[in-house]
A and B are shown apart, each in its own frame.
Chain A
Amino acid sequence: MNHPYMPNSAPATRQAMLDAVGVGDVDELFEQIPADHLARTPVALPPAMRSEVQLDRTLRTVLARNEPAEPGRCFLGAGAWQHHVPAVCDEIAGRSEFLTSVWGTPSSDYGRNQAWFEFASQIGELVDLDFVGLPVYSWGAASGYALRMAARMTGRRRVLVPETTDPERLAVIRTLCGPSGAERSLVVDLVRAERDTGRLDLGALAQLLDTDVAAVYVENPGYLGVVETEMVRIGELAAAHGAELVVGVDPLSLGLLAAPGTYGATIVTGPTQPLGVHLHAGGGVGGFIATPDVERYAREYPTLQVSVAPTRTEGERAFGMTLFGQSSYGSREEGNDWTGNSVYLWTVVNAVYLALLGPAGIAELGHTIAGNAAYAARRLGEIDGVSVRWGGFFKEFVVDLTATGRTVAQVNAALRDRGIVGGKDLSTDFPWLGQSALLCVTEVHDADDVALLVDALKEALA
């Protein structure tokens, strides 16, 4: 039976090709492979399921065993965040042209390249920097690459990273920096956080800083939600030692919070998933890198990036790869780190998202998120034994349950029974926080959702 995906499996078509080639049996075409290389055992997979009816049903049945995070009922963030995805984003994400574009030319895949340029342009506005690469796999990858850029620029091999960095992201950064002790690795030293504010401890930072430090990495807001208040000072400390200030930011915070380009950040990274991409169980992530538009930075990018350029026709413009030669595509092992397929379909979606928001939308969204999060934190903090560890956050905050005598795991299990996805359990990764959870509240939550959480938590603790 002809397979629906394979036009040339129709017997007449197949025979026509065999006849043209002049072979009787397709096996003759595999003459390059020595007989003793061929698989000794057949591939133990079931036969083809050719009917989409059956396939669709099979997959839906298995996927129905998931219990997805319902908007408003999920309070998890920690590296992937449930924001509202405008319908226009989904419409564009599903366009076959973007979905199936391969590599193309600046003329024939013009529209995709323009959308990429519009992504980079809008990120540039948000962070207040002029050079933006196409995104990489994830925020962790972006930050790891950024630290390696700083190491190449400064010729130094030590980087300072907050101890409160997301362990998931820190693990990616560490893998990119290399194993401790290996000759060509970067040394990752952790900087203490102030216990009473959650912010970076500037005294600890000053002690660790030296002229062998390539970069100081700070996230703002930090993983534990707190907004740093001394970024200018941190930048001055880094600059005084000739180190780059690498700042990781949530781009959705930048309608509300100061742009890192205005307070001394020289390399900025951040996640792209908040910009119109669904959670996809972690498959929605991506990370961007932005810097000043000067050669010292631009020539260290490991990414691909598009630039405006003229065409053969007077007054017409196109978008082509700039500094392609310094990528691994252009220079193999002599290039800057390595690149490959990334998350470029999401890049188009990110451009759509930011275009929908505009300046007023992103500013108002920032206020709504911060207002909702502050409200939820206040309501949760009114529960006996429950305290909010620190104020001054954007959308995530630490809720300390230690005084309740319950573990986060117990509480989250009870919340699950009530249809609520609780916060990220911090008790293993940050023992000094006791039984604490990181909660995320955004524009998708309303007063009823918060009330439901508060009531469920009270019941769980009763």
Chain B
Amino acid sequence: MTANRRYHAPVWDEPLIMEMSAPGRRGFVPPAPIEAMPPEHLPATVLRDELPELPEVCEPDVLRHYLRLSQETMGMIGVSLFGTCTMKYNPRVNERLGALADLAEVHPHQDDSQVQGLLEIVHRTDLALRALSGMDRFVFQAGGGAGAAFTHVAVARAYFEARGELGRRTEIITTQQAHPCNPATAAAAGFTVVTLPIEEDGYPSVEALRAAVSERTACLMVNNPDDMGIYNPHIKEWVDIVHEAGGLCFYDHANFNGVMTRLKARELGFDACMFMLHKTFGVPKGGGGPAVGAYGCTEELARFLPGPLVEASEDGYVRRENPEGVGRVREFLGNAQQVVKAYSWLLAMGADGLREAADISVLANAYMQHRILQIPGVSIAIPQMTMHRMEMTRFSLAEYTEETGITVAQVQNRMADYGVDAMWLSHEPWFVPEPFTPEAGETSSLEDIDHWIDVLERVLEEGRRDPETVRTAPHRQVVAAIDGARLDDPDFWATTYRAYRRKHLS
């Protein structure tokens, strides 16, 4: 079996860059000033007395230090089947395009006439996402999916304020399975959050929604399918119920991968939706950004969008403010280079490629589920829902943990010893014990999928035969498992070297 393939993470025992410091070294020499700053230019009182204690390191050593740290990072060099929002291959041609001076050296305040290429791509990406969703307008300002959820609650505030209803539209309804950013952004925007629990079928019932909806309802914020690969078949009825009460419906399309080209948010009745251009549309995760939460909505809501809006006009592409809009959710057009990469990915995929990708990601998940459920000790969440899951499946190691005492986090750590990137467990709250949620997407090969499952199987066997090895894993990683017991202890935590020296080294 492929789990026999040898692997060991690079270990460098790389010191902190601060620990590499030697007086008098430096890795960068600025040019001398054209003219020295005149002494009267700034009063002495505003100047710095002591130099900051940055490390003193020469250029080759800085380079090698961060190269070694990169080697001590697995990323998607390993086999990564991380569920929710679909990690996938990031075409390197797009990275090269993003680094071109034609894009990297564009200033956001340059005149429209000097950024026609960028504005054209932004506009074309808007049109492509309209085609995929049926929405009337997209903006790319939000710096991630959570930013797009925040865009939605900001737009909703403006919408209800314009209708004179903001005072009484105080509640946002979401589900236990919605990503945490939905309730969190709603609360930050001043709404009260109503969270519907999961029921027998894997989603809240229509009755539960009916009971929650009232004249206080501002919005429904949901994903579908959810992070268990379960699709709520009553979603059109849900949308109707919320609309009848005067609320808005926001579709968190983080789990778009399995339904690309099959579903259109607008046709289902939604007023707004969000796509993640990072991940779903081939843009790198980057360890957590820079990202783009593309937010799309109906014409009715478009007047509340943050500006600037990009439009095609007779004089070329232009940015224009949106007078009734919410201003800004982030500066400028957003992570413009990531929009360009997503556009390139969309061109490369085309309508046929998107359909094929959705097919393959759902097929790959069905294959994984089929194999994983043959492993003793693994069960599926919501087993009574017997239909095929979408592009991911939520599993549980509850039986296995009961049998061996080994937790899913320990299994995750041991799998890393075989070159497998940490699998996704579950967002809060965990409503199945010891959860895990792999997702293959369309870019993981069958061989990688088999390797992943072989590793899981082998690790679970190991746990029965030699539990200590799994419990104390990892053993072939950069470092051993973290002891996080005191991470929330103020006498212990140290987010900077200054704090580390004071609390741990003195």
Contacts and interface: CB of A to CB of B under 8 A. Distances in A.
B34 A372 contact: yes
B468 to A, nearest CB: 12
Contact of B495 (A104, A131, A182): A131
A309 B370 CA distance: 39
B289 interface: yes
Contact of A312 (B356, B472, B493): B472
B480 A280 contact: no
B22 to A, nearest CB: 10
Contacts of B120: 62, 65
B46 to A, nearest CB: 5
A29 interface: yes
A21 B370 contact: yes
B36 interface: yes
B2 interface: no
A223 interface: no
Given A259-B48, A333-B184, A282 B53 contact: no
B403 interface: no
Interface string B47-86: 1110111111101001101111111111111101010000
A37 B42 contact: no
B208 to A, nearest CB: 18
Interface string A130-156: 111110011111000000100000000
B53 A67 contact: no
Interface string B449-485: 0000000000000000000000010100111111110
Closest 6 CB pairs of A and B: A340-B146, A371-B33, A282-B332, A111-B72, A48-B350, A282-B108
Contacts, number: 750
A385 interface: no
A313 B131 contact: no
Given A102-B76, A104-B74, A281 B27 contact: no
Contact of A45 (B45, B230, B351): B351
Interface in B1-36: 9, 14, 16-18, 21, 25-36
A58 B277 CA distance: 20
A322 B493 contact: yes
13 contacts: A62-B120, A102-B287, A102-B421, A118-B18, A130-B498, A281-B337, A282-B334, A311-B481, A311-B483, A358-B21, A358-B26, A371-B34, A375-B34
Given A50-B353, A307-B495, A329-B180, 13 more contacts: A46-B347, A67-B114, A100-B76, A107-B479, A122-B54, A125-B54, A282-B108, A283-B335, A310-B483, A313-B480, A328-B184, A341-B291, A345-B288
A311 B481 CA distance: 5
Contact of B484 (A7, A21, A320): A320
Contacts of B73: 97-98, 101, 104, 108-112
B331 A355 contact: no
Contact of B478 (A111, A329, A412, A413): A111
Interface string A92-135: 10111111111111111111101101101111111010111110
- Residue among A28, A47, A445 having the largest count of chain B Cβ atoms under 10 Å: A47
A171 to B, nearest CB: 4
Nearest to B367: A17
Contacts of B312: none
Interface residues of B, number: 217
B462 to A, nearest CB: 17
A348 B287 contact: yes
A332 B360 contact: no
Contact of A68 (B105, B337, B447): B105
B301 interface: no
Contacts of A360: 26, 51, 56
Contact of A371 (B36, B71, B188): B36
A69 B48 contact: no
B499 interface: yes
Nearest to A95: B70
Contacts of A380: none
A416 B496 contact: no
B446 A16 contact: yes
Contacts of A99: 75, 90, 95, 284, 286
Interface stretch (B241-249, B394-402, B422-430): B422-430
Nearest to B113: A416
A6 B357 contact: yes
B363 A352 contact: no
A47 B352 contact: yes
- Residue among B33, B56, B333, B388 having the largest count of chain A Cβ atoms under 10 Å: B33
A58 B98 CA distance: 14
A124 B16 CA distance: 15
Given A229-B45, A282-B333, A178 B190 contact: yes
B76 A333 contact: no
B101 interface: yes
